[in-house]
Amino acid sequence: MANVTVIGAQWGDEGKGKIVDWLASRADVVVRFQGGHNAGHTLVVGDQTYKLSLLPSGIVRGTLSVIGNGVVLDPWHLRDEIKKLSDQGVKMTPDTLQIAETCPLILPFHRDLDGLREDASGAGKIGTTRRGIGPAYEDKVGRRAIRVCDLAHLDDLGPLVDRLCAHHDALRAGFGEPPIDRQRLIDDLKEIAPTVLPYAKPVWWTLNEARLRGDRILFEGAQGVLLDVDHGTYPFVTSSNTIAGTAAGGSGLGPNAAGFVLGIVKAYTTRVGAGPFPTELTDETGERLGVRGHEFGTVTGRKRRCGWFDAVLVRQAAAVSGITGIALTKLDVLDGFDELRICTGYRIDGRTFDYLPPHAREQAQVEPIYETIEGWSQSTAGARSWAELPAQAIKYIRRVEELIRCPVALVSTSPEREDTILVRDPFAD
């Protein structure tokens, strides 16, 4: 049986939570491999709604859930999320949750720096969530991060704290902030260590043993390909690589473990925060999409910008991430439109492009080239088979497949787990 890697193929918020939950019920292990608690997944199981941002989605069903080394971990947020889920009846033990010993920690001064920089950026703001994700990744590559394994050796932390303070105190002084309180930092780490350490494991070993047993491993990405630090709409991106290839480095398994790469794609397009958005609709239609799709960020609560489906960007995301098939979500939001539009190309200063150029000036000048498709009046909400879909809805799906050069594997027609049309089983490949 194949492993499956799930990634967002737009700017995040594509509905990964439901799809991962649907797949997690058939997986033996679920793995988060990048990002932090800056991306939210909403799971609807029966009459319960779970909002996750750091914990892998499999935790709700008791599936072994792993936070890989590619994640940056806020231990205080972890504590709060564990408590929130425990209050909802989800119990976590070291048998159901493992955290890589090599995960870098997000510390209070990372959050401070994130906010200070954003506030001072003026027109250069990039819409960070202010949760310290970027500064924590900077310390990781700067070789000064405090990691999960360090929580078991706090008495040896002095030289590492020296390196951290040498870097951060200079930055804080530039913003008129006092230096890091070293003793408070150590005290805070001593206080939170007992919460984290029971879950700390060599997860690369766990995952390699699972692979040798033939277990089905589900890799759960955060954000979306268009927010990838290399392949996204830079600088309006996240601080990690969100493409499927990161599942290998961010978990401790080789690249051949990724298996079937499932790209989650909304039937239209949304984006939270600043940055280019060629098909954005600021009119009544955009408002209608937002209201019907309940487009507010799980983590930030910010209203999402909405627009028509951009086949150019999804095709680009599929190419750079090696997507095998897509899961098309929120098809029901398009019910009742007389006409639908799909972006098939861009025009910039009279030139035609079939990809999004990387420079901000060109991106700002993009004029989308649209193809118009007849809509449908019938409801697709809750459909669980092709036979329940209107003919025009099927025509829309088939046209999307053609334009993005990637087949549809699943179609989601509501937030409910079972309201899913299975076209191709990712775990059977």
Catalytic residue positions? 13, 41
Dihedral of the CA atoms 149, 29, 407, 71 (nearest 10)?
-10
Q: How far apart (Å, rounded) are the C-alpha atoms in residues 145 and 110? A: 11
Nearest in space to 246 (alpha carbons), one of 228, 264, 271, 227: 228
Residue whose pair of structure tokens reads 């209050």 in the numeric block? 87
The three-state secondary structure class of 61 is: helix
Residue whose pair of structure tokens reads 């390196």 in the numeric block? 163
Q: How far apart (Å, rounded) are the C-alpha atoms in residues 43 and 16? A: 9
Q: How far apart (Å, rounded) are the C-alpha atoms in residues 250 and 257? A: 12
Nearest in space to 348 (alpha carbons), one of 331, 330, 361: 361
Nearest in space to 217 (alpha carbons), one of 2, 39, 67: 2
Query: ∠ CA(248), CA(202), CA(229), 5° rounding?
Result: 35
Nearest in space to 334 (alpha carbons), one of 396, 276, 399, 243: 396
Residues 12, 39 contacting (CB under 8 angstroms)? yes
284 membership: H or E segment, kind and range: helix 284-292
Cβ burial of 350 (10 Å; 0-12, 13-18, 19+) is exposed
DSSP bridge pairs for 421: 411
Contacts of 182 by beta carbon, 8 Å cutoff, 6+ apart: 161, 165
The three-state secondary structure class of 101 is: coil
Residues 69, 203 contacting (CB under 8 angstroms)? yes
Supply φ then ψ for residue 376, to 5 degrees.
-140, 150
Q: How far apart (Å, rounded) are the C-alpha atoms in residues 298 and 52? A: 8
Q: How far apart (Å, rounded) are the C-alpha atoms in residues 3 and 29? A: 10
DSSP code of residue 175? T
The pair of structure tokens assigned to 291 is 């209201």
Q: What length does the chain have?
A: 429
